[in-house]
Structure 1
Amino acid sequence: MTTIADNLQQIRGRIARACQAAGRDPSSVALLAVSKTFGPNAVAQAAAAGQRDFGENYIQEGADKIAALRAALPGVPLTWHCIGPIQSNKTRLVAAHFDWVHTVDRLKIAERLSAQRPEGLAPLQVCIQVNIDGGPTKSGVAPGEALALARAVAQLPRLVLRGLMAIPDHAPEFVAQCAIHTSARRLFDQIRDSGAPGLERFDTLSLGMTTDLEAAIHAGSTLVRVGTGIFGTR
């Protein structure tokens, strides 16, 4: 039976091959293991195989899992990313427990995260979620409004604006996948090169999942979010 460690090795191999094909250094692409709906034991197995960054979509589940893993793996430095939608009544949980947030899509949420981030913790690392292909049911700020939101978020205390995240609708072919991911890369470059204050660490393009990580890396993703490919079908 395939283990989580085996799956991680296969995904890392895919990332390395995709980077080679794109003429990129494999170290330029980070792997985020999406552990939503899987218990602390699965995360512990991935951590034992060297994985350190984990993504959670469901905030209460994620907060409980973070606490459980800190107790189970003292001294193992795991980094936790919130990659699910955030309602106003959940910002305090996110601010208190997570290290990264990928899904900031309106200023109100960013302001609450900033105000509620505990003083004793490092600043919260945040990405703006962009609805890059205009999907009617997708979260994310419209591309044309992303720069203004980035400028505003970058000025908030207790937050560090790190980049953009997008979850485009699935495209079955590599060329189509590359096209939509490339549009996200262009927007990322536009914001990074805008000269706006507070963008000194704007370096993260969170694109690509199990089925399209090769296209995302080809387009310039610096972080791929893989769940099924590591933990199996939910």
Structure 2
Amino acid sequence: MAFRPAQYAALLLGALTLSACARSPAENPQERSVIQNEDPFVAAMDEATNAAAAADRSARKTPSKPQQSDAPRVDTTAPKLSPAELRQRILRLTAGLQSAADTEAERVSRFLGVSFTPELMSIREGESIGDLEQVGSYRVSVSRIDRTAPGKHVRISFGPAGFSTGRPSICTFELAEFADALRSQGYDAGEVHLPHREQWGFVRYVSASDLTFYVSAELYRANDGTRSGKLCLADVTADAVKGRQ
């Protein structure tokens, strides 16, 4: 299957737009009134905010009742891993992506060996954070950023501190070995050209489920004594799209 970076870049930009959709409040009441009249989304948000504020005031006036029982809390701390171990678990996830169900929190937790605690917001199903040896930490999350997509959006973030603004001496693991491993799993690979960031994309079509899986790798350059630096991974995401792309 031919890899089309332009199409993949469009998918990534759409995902970034969906995950960052937020609006700033109007500067004055008159301007806000105009926006409310023109934009039903803002009016609905204001209505929800007012309802929440009223509920909060009511709760403050009502004497609190002692809790009958506390629900058991699930530990959201992921196991401590080395970069090599995290790489191996990510490759286990990418190899296992065969159906939309494989992007759900339950399956992702099995592939990566982490536990999730569902948050109050329905947009995010789970999140788990663990220590990454010699690097800092890693974060795994499962969420839905596109309700028309057949599966969920999976993200594993593990870049060292300051990787986006400088050149750390630490390399999590190199792009070359990661790309070779995904090619062996049947993914086509190519560089995705996005402004101010380096990224590679990997695609694989699964005929049994009629889904195309997109795996993206956000990169940074580690200081290895050369002018160009060493390309290393900081973030991996996985998404599914219906049909052959």
Would the TM-score normalized by the shorter structure come out above 0.5?
A: no
TM-score (ref. length: structure 2): 0.26
Larger radius of gyration: 2
Q: Which has the higher strand share?
A: 2
TM-score (ref. length: structure 1): 0.27
Q: Relative contact order: is structure 1 or structure 2 higher (C-alpha 8 Å, sep ≥ 6)?
A: 1
